[in-house]
Structure 1
Amino acid sequence: MTEDTNDISVLVHEFWTLMGSNDFASVQAVLGEQFMLEWPQSNERIRGVARFAQMNSEYPAQGPWRFTVNRVVANTVSEAVSDVTVTDGSMTARAVSFFSVEAGKITRIVEYWPESYAAPANRAHLVERIEQVTAYRQRCAS
């Protein structure tokens, strides 16, 4: 794989496709040997592809995980960011992930899981509600 912005975007999409297979060992195909995942919000780090696969396999879920890639931005030959909606059919969350890539493999992900919250009433006269991503995508597809 040549390292250009397009290829890194493709690599990130491939990562999320493999995650969506729920065969987390298969994700190792796109991860570097020294892979590391960091969750700054909980001060956790996972080192190694085997631990990453095990953590995802053992994570409690109500059903198979599904990942909707909302956006991928890659502006260098070694970095990309994705915005992904994640669901197990019961819960839905959003993840913003920063990818580092070396030699065509993902070597590091720093991931943030922002919590949704109700909009404050004091600014209701200044804002408009954002439609859910799924509804927006369905509208655009028609």
Structure 2
Amino acid sequence: MTATVTDISTLVHEFWTLMGSNDFASVESVLSEQFILEWPQSNERIRGAARFAQMNSEYPAEGPWRFTVNRVVANTGHEAVSDVTVTDGALTARAISFFSVEAGKITKIVEYWPEPYAAPVNRAHLVELIDEESPY
């Protein structure tokens, strides 16, 4: 059976809500037994929901992690993408996460953590800076 866009989108929002609780073991409830997380930029793979929870629990932070979901796009198959801003009060980053879903559980996330950079001066006459309050 094909999941609906609403089902997948709701599951991704639930994932980020659980992450925001900072009770990372609770996130295991939405992950499949065969869950895999991949970070292509650092060439790392984490296998299993328990290891994912442990990695997040052990990750150094200045304060509790807060997650702002900027956008979720889902399809009627088994995929969704989220754009999330993450902060611990000292560090702020943005994550683009590609979710695969089977039987109502997240089976895989491929996640990118792009580094912000200053716009090149040579195109300043062609662009405008994005308002930080705008979702797009």
TM-score range, shorter chain: over 0.9
Amino acid at match of 1:122: N
* Residue 3 of structure 1: how far off its partner (Å): 1.8
Query: Quick check: 2:25–2:53 contact (8 Å CA) kept in 1?
Result: yes
Deviations 1:86-128 (A, max 9, x none): 0000010000000000000000000000000000000000000
Indicate the residue corresponding to 1:74 in structure 2: 74
- Taking the aligned partners of 2:91 and 2:134, their CA distance within structure 1 comes to 19
* Residue 77 of structure 1: how far off its partner (Å): 2.4
* Unaligned 5+ runs, structure 2: none
Indicate the residue corresponding to 2:125 in structure 1: 125
Q: Secondary structure at the match of 2:129?
A: coil
Q: CA RMSD in A?
A: 1.1
* Residue 47 of structure 1: how far off its partner (Å): 0.1
Indicate the residue corresponding to 2:107 in structure 1: 107
TM-score calculated relative to the size of structure 1: 0.92
Indicate the residue corresponding to 1:136 in structure 2: 134
Instruction: Indicate the larger mover: 92-101 or 72-81.
Output: 72-81
Aligned residues: 134
Q: How do 1:1-142 residues align onto structure 2 when only pairs under 5 Å count?
A: 3-132=3-132, 135-136=133-134
- Taking the aligned partners of 1:119 and 1:63, their CA distance within structure 2 comes to 30
Indicate the residue corresponding to 1:140 in structure 2: none
Query: Quick check: 2:8–2:79 contact (8 Å CA) kept in 1?
Result: yes
Q: Secondary structure at the match of 1:54?
A: helix
* Unaligned 5+ runs, structure 1: 138-142
Structure 1 stretches of at least 4 aligned residues deviating more than 2 Å after TM superposition: none
- Counting aligned pairs with the same residue, the percent is 81
TM-score calculated relative to the size of structure 2: 0.96
